[in-house]
Structure 1
Amino acid sequence: MSALPHVLIVDDEPDLAELYASWLDDEYAVETAHNGATALERFDQPADVALLDRRMPGMSGDEVLERIRERDPECSVAMITAVDPDFDILELGFDAYLTKPVGETGLKNVVDRLLRRSEYTDTLQTFFAKLSKREALMAKKPQFELEADERYQRLESEIETLRKESEAHLSELDGEDFEALFYRLDA
């Protein structure tokens, strides 16, 4: 019997963390933490996916993300937060960005997608992480702000370079990621 994928949920709202856990615990080994320090203690057993709130008292989700990346760069990380994305997200090493509220289907979909992507080449993983950043910004920022920001323009250039590098690996994509890829490229 193979072990279930391990998901670590980090949110300073215990009721919300437990709700997320209840949605996922049929399919995954789920652990919760309600602050950054506890999350890092629990991370001694590496997680396959970490779901992080960005704004927590004490150690922020951004800091937890940085420490997770130092310990285990292979862990897939989704920021699930009430913080609307701004250009600062371009410097963060997450794989997906979801703005609260997040429903059960959306949460399950992001965990499933991140687990599938963990088997892709590094180039495809980086490509999808950058697409996630672009999508998050496009959902919250007007086009004129995006066009005026140097960091965003650099992101667009990186996406185009990665798209070209990824063409040889497109056969790795499952149907959902393949559709998402072309939807996002047309954005």
Structure 2
Amino acid sequence: MTDEPPLVLVVEDESDLANLYAAWLDGEYRVRTAYGGHEALSELDDAVDVVLLDRRMPGLSGDEVLDAVRERGIDCRVAMVTAVEPDFDIVEMGFDDYLVKPVTRESLLGVVSNLLMRSEYDDGVRELFALASKKAVLEAEKDDSTLAETAEYQQLDAELSDVRENLDEQLQDGDHDSFVGMYRDIDRDDSFGFGEFDE
């Protein structure tokens, strides 16, 4: 275990914006900055805890960088920070959270803090957080009738219900204290659009 602050990799092809994000994070976190997708891959290693990733970049897109992160098996959390409004294609993407530009210092610091908190949990709980984040993002961007008519959203909703049910079963069978703590963390995380969990 290291006493060093967590390491955040900022990937953004607009250098002024990348440097602004880095300045916001500096002091609380160690920061690496990459000004494009190819540079991101060279900066990406097991030391990275959180990646803040632009989607639309020349050369190598954020979606391709995200795929590379997952293919390499790097255990880090990834937030897309982008001007690309989320559509139903995000359901299949392997990110943990999604911020639509412009973002504030508070929202950027908040998402990094939440992602680091999520890293403390196992894969099942991380999946719950990621699915719930996607659901909340889509619900913020799409109207109810569009959501009701879209197969991808229905699939996402069903997956989220399955993961929640599985975790509820583990709560009944296993470590009650750790799951209660997890549910409290979820309730504190304002990115979620669903109600409270049963303890």
TM-score by length of 1: 0.93
Where 1:184 maps in the other structure, the secondary structure is: coil
Where 2:159 maps in the other structure, the secondary structure is: helix
Give distance in 2, aligned partners of 1:135 and 1:158: 14
Q: List gaps (5 residues or longer) in structure 2.
A: 172-177
CA RMSD of aligned residues (A): 2.0
Contact between 1:120 and 1:172, CA under 8 Å: does it hold in 2? no
Q: Percent identity?
A: 47
Q: Cα deviations across residues 132-154 of structure 1 (Å, max 9, x unaligned)?
A: 11111111111111111111101
- Runs of 4 or more, structure 1, over 4 Å off, are none
Instruction: Report the alpha carbon displacement of residue 165 of structure 1 after superposing the two structures with TM.
Output: 1.8
Contact between 1:36 and 1:56, CA under 8 Å: does it hold in 2? yes
Where 2:193 maps in the other structure, the secondary structure is: helix
Where 1:119 maps in the other structure, the secondary structure is: coil
Give distance in 2, aligned partners of 1:26 and 1:175: 28
Give distance in 2, aligned partners of 1:46 and 1:16: 23
1:76 maps to what in 2? Answer: 77
Instruction: Report the alpha carbon displacement of residue 45 of structure 1 after superposing the two structures with TM.
Output: 5.2
1:185 maps to what in 2? Answer: 194
Q: List gaps (5 residues or longer) in structure 1.
A: none
Shifted more, 30-39 versus 72-81: the winner is: 72-81
Contact between 1:79 and 1:98, CA under 8 Å: does it hold in 2? yes
Shifted more, 177-186 versus 75-84: the winner is: 177-186
Q: Cα deviations across residues 55-110 of structure 1 (Å, max 9, x unaligned)?
A: 00111000000001111342100000000000001110000001011101110110
TM-score by length of 2: 0.88
Larger radius of gyration: 2
Structure 1 residues 109 and 99, CA, compared in 2 at 3 Å: closer, same or farther? same
1:156 maps to what in 2? Answer: 157
Structure 1 residues 4 and 159, CA, compared in 2 at 3 Å: closer, same or farther? same
Is structure 2 residue 172 aligned with structure 1 residue 171?
no
Instruction: Report the alpha carbon displacement of residue 175 of structure 1 after superposing the two structures with TM.
Output: 4.4
Give distance in 2, aligned partners of 1:28 and 1:177: 23
1:129 maps to what in 2? Answer: 130
| Residue correspondences, number | 187
